[in-house]
Amino acid sequence: MQNIPFTLAISGMVLAKDVARTDNPGGPPVCGKGLILTDQMIDRLKNMGIQSITVEGHPIRMDGDNSLEEMLAGLDRRFKKAEGDPLTMKLKMIHKKQIIKSMGD
C-alpha cells in the first residue's frame, strides 16, 4: 500500500483506504477501499480538492523510496545476527511477506 499525492493518481489504481472529503474528514467516505479509479472518478476527486490517496501495491516510485530488493537486503542485514534462532527467523519471514505484499506485484 502506498500513500501518493493525488496529482499522481491514474486510472486503474485501486484504493487501499477510504477517501474522505478534505473539508469533512470525519464524515462519510466519498470513495471506498477497493474502488478501481477511473478517469471520471479522478476528475470528481480533483474537483473535491483531494490532496492524497492510499492505493494498493507500490505503483509510484518516489524520491527516497527503496526498491523491493533494497528493502529485502536491509531486512537480511537486520536479521543477520539471529540466523540461528528459529523463532526470530519466523518473525523475519512474516516481515518479509508483509514487505512483498505492501510493494504489490
* Rounded mean pLDDT, 9-31: 87
* pLDDT digits 0-9 by tens, 44-103: 888 888 888 989 887 677 677 778 888 899 999 999 999 999 999 999 999 999 888 877
pTM of the predicted model as reported, rounded to 2 decimal places: 0.61
Provide the pLDDT for residue 59: 66
Contacts 24+ apart (CB under 8 A), 82-87: none
**CB 5, CB 45: distance < 8 Å:** no
Q: What share of the chain is helix, strand, coil (3-state, %, to 5)?
A: 40, 15, 45
Residues 15-33: what's their mean pLDDT? 86
Whole-angstrom distance, CA of residue 59 vs CA of residue 11: 12
**Residue closest to 14 by CA, chosen among 23, 24, 4, 22:** 4
For the chain, counts of helices (H) and of strands (E) = 3, 2
pLDDT grade, residue 37 (50/70/90)?
very high
